[in-house]
Structure 1
């Protein structure tokens, strides 16, 4: 899949494989760089031993944290484009006291998050319909 999708700006990595199951990370390295460059993201990454400024090293550190027997790395939300204030809120509040839930638990700007959730839902619906009509992953992938 990487041979087909890397030219479109997408990379696929197995983050963790265990008992016949795999956690797969599909991402755009350019978008990840931007997400991790946010000053709030950088502060959170430093707290957990990451090297902000080098997204590849950050992904490698995330893989190490996922594969260790330690606490689940909830900062993974930063790698999924969740707002840093929501990732931090989740960690500090131990997943409680959120304002709303959609693709993630919201602790910051509830209206912005709800707007994003609606867009994700609409996009998912459109792509699912296209998939059901026979479009391939390559055809559905927008170059970025």
Structure 2
């Protein structure tokens, strides 16, 4: 895992316009991953961002980069809370929610699609994805849309533009700290 991967996959979260991003990376050594994550967290936690390896298996790691305060706010949505309760989460406890997600990722045979709630996906779209088994969506970009298509397309464009600008700035020498909006 590298800062380059964070810029490529997590720019909207670093910019403060998205709660969280998820990406997979090669992980030949768990000890090295722990060292890298610890170093990045030392830089980014003071700016309101946390990095967690959610699952490590078969030489790959699933990395979650998120803003805890934004996630806490997202999970207060009534529809999000109901969905979390359906899958055994404790919506009033952010850390318990993240730990339950990790347990579900590590132990369930099916991927826990409620993870979309941890990534700024609208609750109606997460619910639509689960209930429709990923079919019958109106459009797709970062996620499959079942609700407000126009709003989702605007968000997709905003995330895409942010990612392009951040990657360009990164290539021009800006550090991850300079590219991270404190919050």
- Using the alignment, how far apart are the partners of 1:126 and 1:28 within structure 2? 20
TM-score (norm 2): 0.78
Q: In the alignment, which residue of structure 2 is the partner of 1:136? A: 175
Shift of 1:81: 0.7
Q: Give structure 2 stretches of 5+ with no counterpart.
A: 1-39
Shift of 1:25: 0.4
Give distance in 2, aligned partners of 1:19 and 1:137: 28
**Runs (5+) with no aligned partner, structure 1:** none
Q: Distance in 2 between matches of 1:70 and 1:129?
A: 39
Match of 2:150 among 100, 107, 111: 111
Does the residue aligned with 1:90 lie in a helix, a strand or coil? helix
1:69 CA drift (Å): 3.8
Matches of residues 1-144 of structure 1 in structure 2 within 5 Å?
1-144=40-183
SS of the equivalent of 2:110 reads coil
TM-score, normalised by the number of residues in structure 1: 0.98
- The alignment covers a number of residue pairs equal to 144
CA RMSD of aligned residues (A): 0.6
Deviation at 1:19, TM superposition (A): 1.3
Moved over 6 A (4+): none
| TM-fit CA distance, 1:70 | 2.4
1:56-101 per-position Cα deviation (integer Å, ceiling 9, x unaligned)? 1000000000001421100000000100000000000000000000
Q: Distance in 2 between matches of 1:119 and 1:33?
A: 22
- Per-residue Cα deviation, 1:15-72 (whole angstroms, up to 9, x for no partner): 0001111000000000000111100000000000000111110000000000014211
Q: Return the alpha-carbon distance in structure 1 between the equivalents of residues 121 and 90 of structure 2.
A: 19
Q: Find the aligned partners of 1:59 and 1:69 in 2 and give their Cα distance.
A: 15
What is the SS of the residue equivalent to 1:75? helix
